[in-house]
Structure 1
Amino acid sequence: MHRRIVAEARPVGIVVVFYHPNGDCIRRANRFAEFGQCVVIDNTEIRLSASDLGLDDSVIYLSNGRNRGIATGINQGVAQLLDRGCSSALIFDQDSEPSDELLSGLPGLLEREVHAGRRVALIGPAYDDARLGGTAPFVRFRFPVLQRIEPVGTELIPVDFLISSGSCINLSAWDDIGPMDDALFIDFVDVEWCVRARNRGYETLGSPTLHLAHSLGGEPIRVLGRTYPSHSPLRHYYLFRNATALILRGYMPLAWKWTELVKLPVRLLIYGVWLEPRGQHLKMALRGLWHGLIGKLGAWEQT
């Protein structure tokens, strides 16, 4: 029988990962500090101080002096929040602009469900991306295609994964599940962590009543009447590498592996034909596939 996870009345924390932030990023972080203990992890290659950036004194700021990836950034931020006794951690990209309702609502929902006796690892909002056609559905891994669930109604929806930005982690479950996988660096970091959480008997829940505007990738491209998010060649390296590496891991769900195996050649065709520079996108995607097969993970290093 699973043990019941009960959260105490402890402060809420917020983790934001910076990479070459602009003034709006600083403004958002200072605003977050009004709702909870805000930790900023800066992956920018140049070391700066919090005062140089204009961050509020209440913001905890850690400069890595190099890009250590989103997984390590989240892990560093969560470690700071755990040291300060926080019960939950809201995770945001530097360009996320959540509403006041979301900032207070997600931790409240998490606390409610945990006190009701549910083993919840993560609660996240619905995601609005106007460039890709509106509100994205929640997802469950099913064979032969993913089950897409429209975010309607008022009840929390059990899902198989949530993207990290905008989600709220139950820190009481962090040690049991383990940190984000540093070796993945970026892409599928959230998927892998949610799978581990569910394998440990925790739930991941989507809230259809709370929404976050979130843009996936760069400017979308249209191919044969469908819209796809675009990325840089380097991001395509990570996408193909990590998908391949995770397909080879035994604990990942077979339904997820199948859908990724189907998507990989389609992505390769789209990014290698419709995105400029075609050769660079194709080269980095194929290199990512190879590195995933041989288990070469971590940050990309030019050779």
Structure 2
Amino acid sequence: MVVFYRPDRACVARANRLAQVYSCVVVDNTEHSSTALALGLDAQINYVANGANLGIATALNQGVARLIDAGCTCALLFDQDSEPSTQLLSALPGVLAAERARGARVALVGPAYEDVRLGGVAPFVRFGYLKLKRFFPSGTEPIQVDFLITSGSCVNLAVWNDIGAMDDSLFIDFVDLEWCVRARAKGYSVLGVPTQRLLHELGGEPVRVFGRSYPGHSPLRHYYLFRNAVALIRRGYVPWSWKSSELVKMPFRLAIYGLFMRPRLEHLRLSLLGVWHGLIGRAGPL
């Protein structure tokens, strides 16, 4: 399934290519209603036009529900700008099927993502006190990780109802992390597949600070990032290993967004507003 938000022709073309391989659902969070025909989507695609931005969590839940109704046993999830290879489309369901066949309790498997703007292949991550533990994707065996980004992940739909749907209240940002934390808390594993890569752009144009590239986001996205980080820090089932590393990073993020991203004051204002709303428990869209 693919989540759309103001898609261009390239996004539609990518969805159409997916529809040639698997049953494909497109959930469109664009504010104005459209039709599959008007967008140029393949007739095989199950198109859901929300007519409003309901958030990534709600869109993913809608798409997964359609795939479950269609009798699918797994779901490949993609952002509209992700470029999955033909090999990835067959390899990830194969890895998941192999894990299920040997009786493993697995929630999802996913590739390493590659963003050339941010320096190439991103490492897999496990939580660690004060600092995340990063592992370069190497070898051929799946690697136990603590979370994977949504795009490119292959979800085991047989355990979806046990773990529960994505958290609609988060709207966007940390939706994937929260679901993985919940899955692991219920005894399911999250596996990175080091042999697979997904071309994926994380955020907008990066900014370089002291020689390091950071994903660029809008001030509104930074609101959700800070709000949801604080919200998750307040939840008991989220491990302190992640909470501690997030608390360490927060002041540095505030400094980077407030000093190096324009408009500086708007980035700082919405980031601080996000912290406040996280503390008072405000959820959903701003």
So what's the TM-score if we normalise by structure 1? Answer: 0.93
Q: Which runs of 4+ in 1 moved over 6 A?
A: none
Please show how residues 112-127 of structure 1 align to structure 2 within 5 Å.
112-127=98-113
Equivalent of 1:129 in 101, 112, 115: 115
Equivalent of 1:270 in 235, 246, 256: 256
Amino acid of the residue matched to residue 101 of structure 1? Q
Report Cα offsets for 1:134-183 as digits up to 9, x if no partner. Answer: 11100001123211111001010000000000000000010000000000
| 1:214 equivalenced with 2:200 (yes/no) | yes
The residue that corresponds to 1:84 in the other structure is 70
Q: How many residues get paired? A: 286
Report Cα offsets for 1:164-209 as digits up to 9, x if no partner. Answer: 0000000001000000000000000000000000001000000010
The residue that corresponds to 2:132 in the other structure is 146
Unaligned runs of 5+ in 2: none
The question of whether the paired residues in 1 share the 8 Å contact of 2:81 and 2:201 is answered with no
Q: Find the residue that maps to 1:190 and give its secondary structure.
A: helix
| 1:43 equivalenced with 2:1 (yes/no) | no
Please show how residues 1-303 of structure 1 align to structure 2 within 5 Å.
15-300=1-286
The residue that corresponds to 1:5 in the other structure is none
Report Cα offsets for 1:281-301 as digits up to 9, x if no partner. Answer: 00000000000000101011x
Partner Cα distance (2:67, 2:188) in 1: 21
Partner Cα distance (1:158, 1:264) in 2: 26
Q: Find the residue that maps to 1:205 and give its secondary structure.
A: strand
Amino acid of the residue matched to residue 45 of structure 1? E
So what's the TM-score if we normalise by structure 2? Answer: 0.99
The question of whether the paired residues in 1 share the 8 Å contact of 2:72 and 2:157 is answered with yes
Amino acid of the residue matched to residue 23 of structure 1? R
User: Shift of residue 222 of structure 1?
Assistant: 1.2
The question of whether the paired residues in 1 share the 8 Å contact of 2:181 and 2:238 is answered with yes
Amino acid of the residue matched to residue 295 of structure 1? G
Amino acid of the residue matched to residue 58 of structure 1? Q
User: Shift of residue 131 of structure 1?
Assistant: 1.0
The question of whether the paired residues in 1 share the 8 Å contact of 2:130 and 2:246 is answered with no
The question of whether the paired residues in 1 share the 8 Å contact of 2:130 and 2:248 is answered with no
User: Shift of residue 34 of structure 1?
Assistant: 1.2
What's the % identity of the aligned pairs? 63
The residue that corresponds to 1:11 in the other structure is none
Unaligned runs of 5+ in 1: 1-14
Report Cα offsets for 1:27-54 as digits up to 9, x if no partner. Answer: 1111111111100000001101111111
Partner Cα distance (1:252, 1:147) in 2: 17
Partner Cα distance (1:95, 1:144) in 2: 32
